[in-house]
Amino acid sequence: MTSRKVGSFGKAHGLEGEIKFYPLVDADWFKAGTELRVEGRPYTIAAVRDHQEQLLLSIEGIRKRDVAETFRNLVAWTDAPPELDDAEYWLEDLVGLRALSVDGSSLGLVTEVIVGPAQARLVIQAGSDPATRRMEIPFVEELVPEVNLDTGTVVVDPPEGIEGIAE
C-alpha cells in the first residue's frame, strides 16, 4: 500500500508532551495505538483528544514539552491509511491536475498543496518557468467548486484580483 500523509504537527501543548495536530483525514481515525511515521521513524499514538478544532496527540515515550516541540511543522505519514469514500481523495492527488477557471480557460497546474491550520491552499503555477504567475487559492468549496480526478482537472473561481498575484 502507498504511504500517505495524514496530518502535520503544530506546537507543543502544556508540559506533559502533548502536541497540536492538524489532521488531513477524519479525526476519528486517530486513536491510541495508531502507528505513524515522522521523518522516517515510527511512533505510536498514546492518547488523542479534541482541542479547539484540532487534535492534541500524546506519543508513546514523549512526556516532555521540549521533546514534543521538536515535532513542530513535521508531517505524519502512515502505511495503513483509512479507506476513502468514492467522492473523497487525498490532497496530494491534486498535484499535477490542470486548473481551469469557471469559464473553462486554463489557469495552470496545481504544483503543491499547502496544509495550514485553517484550510489547505492549492498552489497553481501558470507556466513551467518559476518566474511566471503563481497563485495560492484557499481550498474551500466556494473557490474550488469542482475536483475531477478522472479528467485531471480542478475548477477554480479565484477571488477578484488574485489572478494578478505574482511572486
The predicted model gives 65-75 an average pLDDT of: 94
Summarize pLDDT for 123-159 with one digit per residue, the tens.
999 876 666 788 899 999 999 999 999 999 999 998 8
| pLDDT(36) > 60 | yes
Total domains in the chain come to 2
Grid cell, residue 142, equals 466556494
Residues 45 and 106 grouped into a single domain: no
Give the pLDDT mean for 59-71: 96
Amino acid 163: pLDDT = 54
Q: At 145, which CATH number?
A: 2.30.30.240
| pLDDT (mean) for 89-102 | 90
41 plus 97 within the same structural domain: no
Cα→Cα distances 8→24, 39, 77, Å: 8, 12, 9
Inside any domain, residue 86 = no
Dihedral class, residue 61 (left if φ above 0, else alpha if ψ from -120 to 50, else beta): left
pLDDT for 38 beyond 60: yes
Q: Which domain holds residue 55?
A: 4-78
| Residue 21 in this model has a pLDDT that exceeds 60 | yes
Indicate whether 167 belongs to any domain: no
Helix, strand, coil content of the chain in percent (nearest 5): 10, 45, 45
Whether the Cβ atoms of residue 48 and residue 56 lie closer than 8 Å to each other: yes
What is the pLDDT confidence band of residue 167, given thresholds at 50, 70 and 90? very low
CA distance 70 to 149: 36
For the chain, the residue count is 167
Q: Does 96 share its domain with 150?
A: yes
User: 14-28, 78-92, 115-129 — which one is most confidently predicted on average?
Assistant: 14-28
Q: How far apart are CA 108 and CA 132, in angstroms?
A: 10
Q: What is the pLDDT of residue 128?
A: 64
* In a domain? residue 131: yes
Among the ranges given (26-30, 82-86, 109-113, 153-157), the one the predictor scored with the smallest mean pLDDT = 82-86
Query: Is residue 45, in this structure, part of any structural domain at all?
Result: yes
Average pLDDT over residues 26-47: 94
CB-count burial class (<10 Å; 0-12, 13-18, 19+) for 77: middle
Confidence band of 87 (pLDDT split at 50, 70, 90): confident
Starting at the edge strand found earlier in the chain, the sheet holding 120-125 runs 134-138, 120-125, 106-115, 98-101, 153-156, 146-148
Mark whether 108 and 156 lie in a shared domain: yes
As a whole number of angstroms, the distance between CA 109 and CA 52 comes to: 34
148 and 113 together in one domain? yes
Q: Is the CB of residue 13 less than 8 Å from the CB of residue 56? A: yes
Distance set, CA 34 to CA 6, 77, 119, 151 (Å)? 12, 11, 24, 34
pLDDT at residue 40 tops 70? yes
